[in-house]
Amino acid sequence: MAIVSPVEKEFSRRLEQVPVHGVGLSVDVYSPHLTSLLGALHQRHAPPAYLEVFRAAPAVLAAVRRQVRGSLLAYHGEGLWLTQPDTPDDPSFAQEVREVAGHLQTLDSAWLNHECATKYIAGYSYGTYLPPLYTESSAMVVAENAMLIQDVLDRHCRLANGAAPLLLLELPPLTYFVAGTLGIPTFFRLVVQRASCGLVLDVGHLWTVFRYSGAWRTTRLEKFVDDFISQFPMDRIVEIHVAGLAIHESSVAARFQPVDRREGDVPPAWTDAHAAPIQPVLFEMLERVLSHPRLTGLRGLALEVDTKSIPLIVDEFAEFSKRYGSALPHMQKESEVSQEGGYQPLPRAPLSETIKHALAAAYERYALVAAGRSEPEGPEWNLPTTCVDELETYRSIYLPYEILSWGGQVDTMFPQSCRRLEEQGVPLSRFVSFWFQRPRARSGPYDFFLVKIDRFVEFVLEEAPELAAMAEQEADELRRAYDFANEPPIQAVGERT
């Protein structure tokens, strides 16, 4: 008889309290307009069985809860950078997790889904996710941080059924490169050996692993998927996401077409793109995943559709729910919810400071490599699992676009300062190198737009101190407008007065 570890037993107990959610949508509450989206789905007779909502202001989450009274809601968190060894040392971390616990309570969400990825490494900020270093010590840190988060949820959130929400870690996308010493499935096996969390398998993200781990050079997609899932802890998967893929707008803007000189049959250079149509190849991959015998804990299957147009969502979801509406029949239908509540924390040996320091140093190298300030050297960059073939696309096209355009076009945000800088012969491209010139400590919850504002004011102060007052004034206006936009009086979800 197989021996079940205490961590496995704890996961099973927690999973028992997560009801089957069915086929749903993972959405952003601001875009597209949620009330209109739900109306259009009902008109098509394709209501989602649940909504997983992305992080939003507490008042907005409360409005969503009121609007879909009685329906299942789940939560997609953001900003808990659990891949990083120094995250728990950040004084604001515990407070941020408690805030998330409040969000989960408001929604009565059975889980907290969070990417196993970060946007903040060693003092450097990014707009989109960077995957963890796939190493053994990194897996240990992820597991430890995951359990710290779970402990806070256990203590600060009690759902209507008496349970605490379950932390789920999502397989993150690769954006042109990957670094590490372990295969990704092995990494997640190490994480779940130590942490009683669940997992989210995003099929689009899995496609990017095929593409940017270089697996496509030696393996057909079908075999890659079968190999991956045969090694991945499938019994920990609680939710599956399916989302769009597309050539990134930075490559489109640069008219960049990646060409691989060694191979004739290069897969498209797609990256994760929630606004884009879902590529048919993802359904072929999904079917291989759904038919896997170790997929025993699945509770939800969602299209991830934030920022997509409503007609496209409705078309895709109507088809999706028809095709996969019965995909969860072998899963537990009625959850037997224990009213006992509360968990005794599992005894865990704390990670040694030596391991954390070594990992912190590896992440500093990672940040500098990603920013183009160092070459990919060192143990995490020298193994067959590492793939840096298109690292240059990330460094020279994707990342500058992220700093200058993504989530706020700098020359639109600071029109006067940018015009004056141009007159003085200071190109905006210099802002990109300034951004990664030195690490900066975080202050408060992570918000890339606000980081961009702060960083630009510093940039102007360094490049043209006489323009600092102008930049500061533009920054103040941006911050005020942003505060106003984030805390509007809510009439109905998505409607702002």
Give the binding site for Fe ion (CB under 5 A): 202, 241, 304
Q: How far is the CB of 216 from Fe ion (least distance, A)?
A: 21
Asked if 455 contacts 478 with a C-beta cutoff of 8 angstroms, the reply is: no
Residue with smaller CB distance to Fe ion, 170 or 380: 170
Residue with smaller CB distance to Fe ion, 30 or 54: 54
Tell me whether residue 71 is exposed, middle or buried, using C-beta atoms within 10 angstroms of its C-beta: 0 to 12, 13 to 18, 19 or more. Answer: middle
Q: How far is the CB of 345 from Fe ion (least distance, A)?
A: 29
Residue with smaller CB distance to Fe ion, 72 or 467: 72
Residue 64 DSSP SS3: helix
Residue with smaller CB distance to Fe ion, 86 or 304: 304
Q: How far is the CB of 241 from Fe ion (least distance, A)?
A: 4
From the list 432, 486, 430, 476, the residue with the least C-alpha distance to 454 is 476
From the list 198, 37, 27, the residue with the least C-alpha distance to 113 is 198
Cα–Cα separations (whole angstroms), residue 21 to 24, 212, 321: 8, 32, 13
Residue with smaller CB distance to Fe ion, 126 or 207: 207
Q: How far is the CB of 303 from Fe ion (least distance, A)?
A: 10
Residue with smaller CB distance to Fe ion, 304 or 390: 304
Q: How many CB atoms lie within 10 A of CB 280?
A: 7
Residue that has been written with the tokens 């007159």 in this structure = 423
Residue with smaller CB distance to Fe ion, 243 or 404: 243
Residue 243 DSSP SS3: strand
How many residues are given for the chain?
497
Q: How far is the CB of 452 from Fe ion (least distance, A)?
A: 24
Strand partners, 241: 202, 302
Burial readout 251-269 (b: 16 or more C-beta within 10 A, e: otherwise) = beeeebeeeeeeeeeebeb
Report phi then psi at 305, rounded to 5: -130, 20
Residue with smaller CB distance to Fe ion, 275 or 388: 275
H or E segment at 399?
A: helix 399-404
Report phi then psi at 51, rounded to 5: -120, 130
Q: How far is the CB of 479 from Fe ion (least distance, A)?
A: 30
Q: How far is the CB of 294 from Fe ion (least distance, A)?
A: 21
Q: How far is the CB of 481 from Fe ion (least distance, A)?
A: 29
Tokens of 490: 């809510």
Residue 127 DSSP SS3: strand
